[in-house]
Amino acid sequence: MTEDNIKKFKSGQSINSYEFMGSHIASHKGKKGVSFMVWAPNAKRVYLSGEFNNWSVDSHPMTNLYNSGVWGIFIENLSEGEKYKYNVIGCDGVSRLKSDPYATFSELRPNTASVVYNLDGYEWSDNKWQECKSKKICDNEPMNIYEVNLGSWKRKWDGDFFSYEELYEMVYYAKDMGYTHIEIMPVTEYPLDMSWGYQTVGYYSPTSRHGKPNEFRKFVEKCHENNLGVILDFAYSHFCRDEHGLYKFDGSPQFEYSDPTKADNHGWGTAHFDLGKPEVNSFLLSNVLYWFKEFHIDGIRVDAVSSMLYLDYDGGDWKPNKYGGRENLEAIDFLKKLNETVYKYIKNPIIVAEESTAWPMVTGPTYKGALGFTYKWNMGWMNDTLKYMEMDPVYRKYHHELITFSFMYAFSENFILPLSHDEVVHGKKSLLDKMPGDTWQKFASLRLLYAYYMIHPGKKLLFMGSEFGQGLEWRYAYGLEWELLQIDPHIKMQDYVRDLNHMYKDDKALYEMDNTYEGFDFIDPHNNEQSVITIMRKGKKDKDFTIAVINFTPVVHYDYKIGVPCSGIYEEVFNSDDEKYWGSNQTMNGSELFSMNEKWHNKEHNITIKVPPLGVTFIKLKRELKDNE
């Protein structure tokens, strides 16, 4: 440990602090053992306590290195697997046994000790994936994300968790279903199951619920082997107040703000990181790179960005910033620095913001004034769409703008369309149960929702269980309702989502120009009386386009005329009402659709089609017609 490392850490410039902080297998003066280092600037004393000294709280004092507030000790003859904590005598004179903020492995809850774990020497086998990823630009690629909670995708009958290795089953499933990425709710170690991982203690420690860190590495490799990217959720906005965690680590507000109006997150009962403190910056910036470099993840989603950006976010007492505004200036600077750091050191990363307000320029490069994220969850689209879909179809014509307004701002940011875990918990009902009508109408409406979301500009995200029509809300303590896949409508819903996902991956028009108006044409947004809209998505090649006609009522429309961009023979390539998906089979049965040279919907040509009830038909150009045909 050099003084230069400590200076970088204390200046907020360290991006690899995990390489010297925490516990590490090491040699000192020819002796093998473990080095321990922890930041506790206001502590009166710090002791190492562990199995090796029968959890003595004062037998092994640590040294305040260079009077920096970083405390260190080397213990001979220790090895991997040793459990330990730090006994921190705070500035208030109180003794607290603390887990290691930089621990790379932790005991299974409810136990709270850190565990010495050697991450060195792992041989990765995903070179082919990494090479391929480095050449891809996400904007031009399909991105269809399967959001999962590892602890409740499946659960053993005795309540035990599936191991990382046993969860390979989920990887194979996601590949078969046609997803491109898996987004995992936080795997950073957390004490309380019902927090879903969003109230973290061990920011460097993959949760021991499913196994050891190298086993999680193998899980990531398995994803890459099956052409699935891995995105992890992180809660950099707040951390839990558990006694063994970061809260008042050295008896003072060390990781959190000293100002209680900024430190306390009243809504979640947690504490906010002091994002203006250099050492906290080093801790968090090193953390994000740690997961990219040490675990080969492909992206992160930063949770609750709005709670970071606004000083008055949770409605408690707050103080304006130095300019009199409500913006958290340190958080803005931190988020820009985080994104700049990732882009500097990681090739083609995915960095997603869950930002629920209209904060401008969340996505885009920081040198243009943006926050620097790759993508933002489109919460406005999600809220309007679900509000509309929950209505009885007879009333939808009076609220047509809910289903069309999102196209007015669809290219203001680089969006992901989220149908996430947040929409199927806490009394919100499952997506299937949100749909109105009888059982057939519920399933038809859900198929309709998924088809509409697939044709809409933006990348896609769907929470686990929704792909087969989970009946109950998501329950973190139980597995999904896999038994429903013995029932025909649910089997066919799963088949439908699989086919829809693969169609999306195979059709460049649906993703190749996601973030530009050049890739989109709203052929007819105005038919509110029949609650039908007609959309066209375009690829980069001329005549590569897909048209979707979307009917939000249970009425079949025969001889429905739509404008098309060129003279030709068209065909239906996908229909959500196909009987193989438990639909009413109002399809065009492979008919060739010849265009007419008559203006319609501001197009020079038109075709006449059949529009399915509570359904979507996807149409493509089969071949152009020449002048003499």
- Whether 340 is catalytic is no
Q: Which of 147, 233, 256, 303 is catalytic?
A: 303
- Whether 303 is catalytic is yes
pLDDT digits (tens, 9 = 90+) for 26-48: 988 889 999 999 999 999 999 99
pLDDT digits (tens, 9 = 90+) for 180-210: 999 999 999 999 999 999 999 999 999 999 9
> If we measure between CA atoms, which residue out of 537, 538, 143 comes closest to residue 374?
143
CATH of 3-115, one of 3.20.20.450, 2.60.40.10, 2.40.50.100, 3.30.2020.30: 2.60.40.10
Residue tagged 């050295």 (tokens): 250
Quick one: pLDDT band at residue 268, thresholds 50, 70, 90?
A: confident
pLDDT value of position 480:
97
pLDDT digits (tens, 9 = 90+) for 386-406: 999 999 999 999 999 999 999
Quick one: pLDDT band at residue 625, thresholds 50, 70, 90?
A: confident
Quick one: pLDDT band at residue 173, thresholds 50, 70, 90?
A: very high
User: In this structure, what token pair is assigned to residue 368?
Assistant: 């243009």
Mean pLDDT of the chain: 95
Q: Residue range 498-519: average pLDDT? A: 96
User: Percentage of the chain with pLDDT > 90?
Assistant: 93
- Which residues partner with 618 through β-bridges? 548, 574
User: In this structure, what token pair is assigned to residue 189?
Assistant: 């170690």
Q: Residue range 224-233: average pLDDT? A: 97
Quick one: pLDDT band at residue 269, thresholds 50, 70, 90?
A: confident
pLDDT value of position 629:
64
- Domain 517-624: what homologous superfamily? Golgi alpha-mannosidase II (2.60.40.1180)
Domain ranges of the chain: 3-115, 517-624
pLDDT value of position 1:
57
- Which residues partner with 593 through β-bridges? 570
pLDDT value of position 251:
96
- CA dist 285 and 291 (Å) reads 11
4 or 615: which leads in pLDDT: 615
Q: Which of 189, 256, 354, 578 is catalytic?
A: 354
Quick one: pLDDT band at residue 267, thresholds 50, 70, 90?
A: confident
Q: In the predicted model, is pLDDT for residue 147 greater than 70?
A: yes
User: In this structure, what token pair is assigned to residue 354?
Assistant: 């869950």
pLDDT digits (tens, 9 = 90+) for 284-341: 999 999 999 999 999 999 999 999 999 998 777 899 999 999 999 999 999 999 999 9
